Structure 1
Amino acid sequence: MQIIKSIQNRIYEIRGERAMLDFDLAVLYEVETRVLNQAVKRNIKRFPDDFMFQLTRHEFEGIMTQIENLNLGMSSQFVMTYPTKRPNSALPYAFTEQGVAMLSGILKSDKAINMNIAIMRAFVDVRKILLKQSNINEQLTEINERIGEHDVQLNELYDAMENLIDEKIAQIKWKDRERIGFKIKE
């Protein structure tokens, strides 16, 4: 379970997709990033743009900031090591869930196969969490709509009560008014 949590911490939201970076995958597969990328380039037809894409400098800097913030909040035994300096030409590649699945076809070691299974499970767990969150958001929206309806109904009740009170006050004022005209003695 600890490995799944570690993998989940390495899944990022990039360009609206959940993806993992090449250097994270290399650490998990216990290969050099260079070796991983070479294997991908030898099989580039397996990796269309929706399976793998290269980050821009801006995207990479944003993710590195997230990683540094995450590492500050973790205990020392869980801190992951990330490359802090990369040459300008070596921006990392991001692999979507389908891209990671495709990696299993080009990396043949037992470690890579077992890690790929764990990564797929982590993606599934992340999807489940997001579905639960979506369901909670729908429930909150429904509650807000009900509260809005109740507010309208309560306002109508308050208006009706005010109207009744106003009528009572008007009746009392009518009875207590000073009468004009002839007064008959009884």
Structure 2
Amino acid sequence: MENSIEDLITEEAVTGKIYHIRDQKVMLDSDLANLYQVETKQLKRQVKRNLLRFPMDFMFELNDDEQKILRYQFGTLGHGTYSKYGTMAFTEQGVAMLSSVLNSERAIMVNIEIIRIFTKIRHRLQESSTLRMDIERIKNRLSDHDKNLEIVFSYLDELMVSSENEKKPRTRIGFKPDIL
């Protein structure tokens, strides 16, 4: 029995291949080619033939500095096999567009799974930012409670000091009967 795409492509495997480059979450051409089970040069060829489908917010080539950082990170000459072309980085929209230029059932199924995973990640980030805002609100409320408690305790201290002063015998004012 053949494994389904969902079984072969785990969330952990895909999230491990999502990088943060130029303030965007991207996947690299060689990682995508591996998932699609095509050669990286075939993927790049299809993209270059369909460049109009890949504006800068969908796909960009890494510059020399970014390539060097990748080399250091992976400890090889390049990520994947050496290519005379720069490494291509695909945003979520670029990954979605790849299914239209790679005409295989696997490419479509892999894209569906990758988009689902990107959506889960975005949802988790939104949940964590909501949670972070809730925690901030609670901290602010607790900070206000601390200030209010300080005021209450200072009033209690004043009351205790004034009640200690009241315990000294006072001279009575008013009518005093003579008892002799």
1:111 lines up with 2:106 in the alignment: yes
C-alpha contact 2:24 2:91 (8 A) present in aligned 1:
yes
* Deviation of the 1:110 alpha carbon: 1.3
Aligned equivalent of 1:4: 10
- Provide Cα deviations, 1:50-108, integer angstroms capped at 9, x if missing partner: 11112234444555666x6xxxxxxxxxxxxxx82126954421110101111111000
Question: Which consecutive unaligned segments of at least 5 residues does structure 1 have?
Answer: 69-82, 177-185
1:84 lines up with 2:44 in the alignment: no
Aligned equivalent of 2:30: 23
What's the TM-score, normalizing by structure 1?
0.75
Report the Cα distance in structure 2 between the residues aligned to 1:63 and 1:16, rounded to whole angstroms: 16
Question: Which consecutive unaligned segments of at least 5 residues does structure 2 have?
Answer: 1-5, 171-179
* Deviation of the 1:20 alpha carbon: 0.7
Aligned equivalent of 2:157: 162
Aligned equivalent of 2:116: 121
1:152 to 147, 151, 157: 147
Identity of aligned residues (%): 38
What's the TM-score, normalizing by structure 2?
0.78
Matched residue type, 2:37: E
Aligned equivalent of 1:35: 42
2:54 to 43, 47, 59: 47
1:162/1:29 CA distance change after superposition, 3 Å:
same
Give the length in aligned residue pairs.
161
Q: What is the root-mean-square deviation of aligned Cα atoms in Å?
A: 2.5
- Provide Cα deviations, 1:19-51, integer angstroms capped at 9, x if missing partner: 111111010011111111111111111111111
Matched residue type, 1:171: E
* Deviation of the 1:166 alpha carbon: 2.2
Structure 1 residue ranges, 4+ long, deviating more than 6 angstroms after superposition: none
